[in-house]
């Protein structure tokens, strides 16, 4: 899969593999979102980068594995500590943006990532 072909279904599948679950409602509960919102993501093929990013920082999940299927499933502990520090700074900056602007920021960040 290329980075341009990211689908919400691929991300959902990887998260279900990690949590060893089968049902969408189980994953929606883990991600702390309503089943309606979850269904909307799937229907529109919308990747909720903000939700995924926050979830990866709360757990040991490797963001690149969740989004792209690349690398190890879990992060290195030292890397997690640094990422959490950087993410709290960025979260403060991004949290005041409108949803459309947040999505634009996440898209720009993704384009900056080396392939």
Range list of H helices, 20-112 = 24-30, 35-44, 49-58, 63-68, 77-94, 99-112
pTM score above 0.85: no
CATH tag, 3-112: 1.10.260.40
pLDDT tens for each residue of the chain, 115 residues long: 445 678 999 999 999 999 999 999 999 999 999 999 999 999 999 889 889 988 988 888 889 899 999 888 887 765 666 666 677 777 777 777 777 777 777 777 666 655 5
Quick one: pLDDT at residue 101? 78
Quick one: pLDDT at residue 14? 95
Residue with tokens 């189980």: 26
Q: How far apart are CA 2 and CA 87, in angstroms?
A: 25
Quick one: pLDDT at residue 2? 47
């Amino acid at each position: 899969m290329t980075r341009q072909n990211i689908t919400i279904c691929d991300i959902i599948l990887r998260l279900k593999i990690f949590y060893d679950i089968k049902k969408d409602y189980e994953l929606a509960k883990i991600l702390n979102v309503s089943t309606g919102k979850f269904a909307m993501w799937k229907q529109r093929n919308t990747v909720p980068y903000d939700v995924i990013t926050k979830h990866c920082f709360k757990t040991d999940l490797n963001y690149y594995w969740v989004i792209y299927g690349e690398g190890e499933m879990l992060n290195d502990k030292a890397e997690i500590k640094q990422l959490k520090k950087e993410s709290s700074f960025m979260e403060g900056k991004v949290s005041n943006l409108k949803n459309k602007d947040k999505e634009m920021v996440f898209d720009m960040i993704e384009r900056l990532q080396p392939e």
